Amino acid sequence: MKRGARIREERARYSNMSGIAALGFLINGMDERKDDDGDTGSAFPRSDAEDMSKGARFVPGEVTLARRAGKKVNFVTICDPNCWYWEMPDGSRFYHYDPIVYRHIGLANGREEINDGNRTYFKDGPGHCPRCGNINTRGGVVKVKP
């Protein structure tokens, strides 16, 4: 993928700056134990704060621990602003559930949306994301092995 296309595909840092992202940058900046990369040994890895500044509302503990240990974890945001995953060094992916992701995936798959007055759901389930393969439409965090 060419650099320009990748930049358009990936959301830019600081495009969705939240209070928790700003706090993460502040904590990281004051942390004297971290290495030059801003992640290794840090109480709040810089990459976690950057993920939040790109729209993540949660970072799995496994991701934070890997970054603190000096491992490279990629935050991938090629889909809708609410559909993302973390790619671990071993190639596995962590998908975090979000209700907005559930709806986005169902609509992207052309599923019939049903509103029964109490909740909204899809007749045959939402399916998986046609772009990134996100299968997490039930809650929590799902780890998918390569």
The predicted pLDDT at position 75 comes to 92
Q: What predicted TM-score, i.e. pTM, was given to this entire model?
A: 0.74
Mean pLDDT of 6-32: 72
User: Smallest Cα–Cα separation from 121: which of 108, 131, 107?
Assistant: 107
What is the mean pLDDT of the segment spanning 91-113?
A: 86
Confidence of residue 25 (pLDDT cuts 50, 70, 90): confident
Q: What are the pLDDT digits (tens) for 52-79?
A: 888 888 899 999 999 999 999 999 888 7
Percent of all residues in the chain with a pLDDT value above 70, rounded to a whole number: 87
Domain boundaries, given as residue ranges, for the chain: 1-77, 96-146
